[in-house]
Amino acid sequence: MRCFIVIAAFNEGGRVGPVVREVRARYADVIVVDDGSIDATAAEAREAGAIVLSHAINRGQGAALQTGFEYALGHGAEAIVTFDADGQHRAEDIDTLLAPVRDRGFDVALGSRFLHRNPSIPPTRELTLRLGVIFTRWVSGIRVTDTHNGLRAFSRDAAARITIRQDRMAHASEILDTIARCRMRYCEVPTDVRYTTHSLRKGQRSSAAFRIALDFLLGRWEE
């Protein structure tokens, strides 16, 4: 099965290179969508062997993932995995994540840090994520344990049906909403998240959750 790994990267110079190498050791087709970075992200990713798509200006993670999806679908992808550029995911988790899509007919497999044996999640981050779970259950009616995990696997068909319109961070809720609305077959797979000082600083602050929720609700109402 030809699987494309889509990595959205914004100013991840120094980190995206090792991430691409780690993934490339297992999967040949790695796409890095450089989302208007002002550092060496694109050059580093290309040097590590990734196909690099460059956004001329920063449009947000959701927009970057959609660009990667369109490229992958146009180049014969049979499955697509989204993977974060900052090194928080482990490449070996891709195999376990792909298994349900490849072998058991699932449309989508979602990574969940909360299903992992020994999750080591900072307390405030855990609280925010748990609230996200409740919010998603309430708004979209989908029962998952980790709504904002960047590690996901999609069958070609599922990826083609999901169009990410939320350019910024609300795309995570939007993807789940589409999964629920289209009644896709999905499952959760335990995956690890490596929290580093970098990923915590660069990642979303807990206070951003409200804006993300508002973005999502406004976008949903517009459809």
Partner 1 sequence: MSLIQLVLVLFAAFALARVLGRFRAGVIRLPECLLWTGLWAGVAVVVLDPNLTQRVARVLGVGRGVDAIFYLTIVLLFYLVFRVHMRMRGLERQITELVRKLALLSAK
Q: Residues interacting with partner 1, by CB under 8 A?
A: 33, 36, 51-57, 59, 63, 66-67, 70-71, 74, 165, 167, 222
CA distance 84 to 5: 10
Torsion of CA 88, 177, 143, 208, to 10 degrees: 50
CB of 168 to partner 1, least distance (A): 10
Give the residue with the Cβ less far from partner 1, 68 or 111. Answer: 68
CB of 70 to partner 1, least distance (A): 6
Give the residue with the Cβ less far from partner 1, 71 or 83. Answer: 71
CA distance 62 to 150: 11
CB of 58 to partner 1, least distance (A): 9
b/e per residue, 87-104, with b = 16+ CB within 10 A? bbbbbebbeebbebbbee
CB of 35 to partner 1, least distance (A): 9
Give the residue with the Cβ less far from partner 1, 43 or 187. Answer: 43
**Sign of torsion over alpha carbons 29, 202, 210, 120:** positive
Give the residue with the Cβ less far from partner 1, 125 or 156. Answer: 156
